Amino acid sequence: YYQEKFYFTPGNTGFKVWDTRYAKIGIGICWDQWFPETARCLALNGAELLFYPTAIGSEPILDTDSCGHWQRTMQGHAAANIVPVIAANRYGLEEVTPSEETGGQSSSLDFYGSSFMTDETGAILEQAERQGEAVLLATYDLDKGASERLNWGLFRDRRPEMYQRITD
């Protein structure tokens, strides 16, 4: 269940931002989405849009549907950084049957789709259904977002000297 750290080697390059012909984009992959530090670092590095490709669904160990929690977390990233968020999630049931490769364990994950796009305040602009493919479209005024970030002063008024506990 969501054990990326056992399949992939964590990178150490920080949170990079890519300058495309459309916007400066920051990308946090799957597990990164749960950490506000990811979104803040991407925004501080100049991201105008935050993308989060992910594969998330039911929480079988907890017997929990985390869709609402997931969306509110991502909406918070948008609002706290005044940067739109685009979250693309897979959908469908994936079952793992007992085998030598799985250590004899079985599991099933029900990925809940619900991909969505927010504006810079975190309001959901477009959202996919829980099941089925979808194409979501939204228009962003990047100049307005930049102006809002400047006017709110969220980056200007930070106090990093007070945040050491975060890195302990």
| Domain segments of the chain as ranges | 13-131+140-167
φ, ψ at 116 (rounded to 5°): -155, 165
DSSP-assigned letter for residue 160: G
The mean pLDDT of 91-115, rounded to a whole number, is 84
φ, ψ at 16 (rounded to 5°): -80, 150
DSSP-assigned letter for residue 72: H
How would you label 89-109 residue by residue, b for 16+ Cβ within 10 Å and e otherwise?
A: bebeeeeeeeeeeeeeeeeeb
Strongest mean pLDDT among 12-16, 41-45, 91-95 = 41-45
Close Cβ partners of 135 (under 8 Å, ≥ 6 residues apart): none
Position 48 pLDDT exceeds 80: yes
Q: Tell me the CATH number for domain 13-131+140-167.
A: 3.60.110.10
For 134-158, write each residue's pLDDT tens digit. Answer: 999 999 999 999 999 999 999 999 9
